[in-house]
Amino acid sequence: MNLGGKRALVTGGAGFIGSHLSAHLLETGTEVVVADDYSNGRDEWIPDGAERIEGDLTDREVVADAVGSDVDLVFHLAARKDPNDQDPRGQFSENTTMTHLLLEESLAAGVEGFAFASSSTVYGEAPRPTPEDHAPLEPISVYGAGKLGEEGLVSTYAHSHGLPAWTFRFANVVGPRLRGAVVPDFVEKLVDDPERLTILGDGRQEKSYVHVTDCVDAMCHVVERAEEENPDRPMHTYNLGTWTTTSVDRIADVVCDVLGVDPDYEYTGGDRGWTGDVPRMRLSIDKLDALGWEPTLESDEAVRRVAREVADEIASETSL
């Protein structure tokens, strides 16, 4: 499917990944409609040229208005995500409701395809590297359980209702505008106190990190190529990540090097940062590689680049 000339709805398009995807789509010649409630995003992050629809995507009228704005494709990235969420049932309900409503309205509107942002958390603590056909899928967090449930909904609409679909299981995505994750957390802590750095867990947690520019490029590559490679499949599931991993201790070292500081490390203990954290994750990207795509930055390079980007952003914000 050639994205050029298409009209795409990007839910969560004012957020971290969604705003970068919106900009990337516009560069390919795709018209973009952003739907967002701004709970995790900012209006100024939406690129020039994109249309805006503000509203709660658990509201059917808002969803119908967004999907019914003459779009050809839906990229669904909007989600409530908080590993320490005090309302896990609410998080699960809101995310699955959004996805179900978007699928219903997409089918009714006759859109050409539905792209869903899932997560590596659907695998739980799986052998590494983890391929897309790994089974069973055993998430260990409510967020991961919700993503697995949403994947099931997408699969149902693809197989039983003929709605072509692409599902992306992300590794840890990093880049400008990222907050609430390990790299910006370390940058913010060290800007505040360059003498001491508190690290959740034991620092040995080790995962893949993919830069957001690679992530959105891979998403578009799959949408354009997967159906051509596998024309008989209504649903295409791909891991998006890198070939390598980086430990939390290594991230701390990289961030300290970028900022030019040498703090004492203090650990909260345990083998994971929070309940539901998967301490070690590396996705197989062999399937993505076979489709002709590979990352331009490996995990360490992505971490170093985002450390500089986030440090520059924080410096800019504090100078205002």
The closest alpha carbon to 212, from 179, 183, 177, 174, belongs to: 174
Question: Which helix (DSSP H) or strand (DSSP E) does residue 113 occupy?
Answer: strand 113-119
| Omega of the bond leading into 129 within 30 degrees of 0 (cis) | yes
Kindly state the DSSP code that residue 118 receives in the 8-state scheme.
Answer: E
Token readout for 89 is 């049932």
Please identify which of the residues 123, 143, 157, 238 carries the catalytic annotation.
Answer: 143
Under 8 Å CB-to-CB from 12, ≥6 apart: which residues? 18, 35, 36, 40, 41, 76, 77, 78, 79, 117
Q: Rounded CA gap, 124 and 141, in Å?
A: 8
CB atoms inside a 10 Å sphere around CB 77: 25
Q: Rounded CA gap, 266 and 193, in Å?
A: 13
Q: Rounded CA gap, 56 and 300, in Å?
A: 37
User: Is the separation of the CB atoms in 282 and 208 below 8 Å?
Assistant: yes
Is residue 123 part of the annotated active site? The answer reads: no
Token readout for 181 is 């994750």
Q: Rounded CA gap, 200 and 266, in Å?
A: 9
The 3-state DSSP class for residue 194 equals: coil
The closest alpha carbon to 303, from 178, 139, 149, 140, belongs to: 178
Residues with a catalytic annotation lie at 143
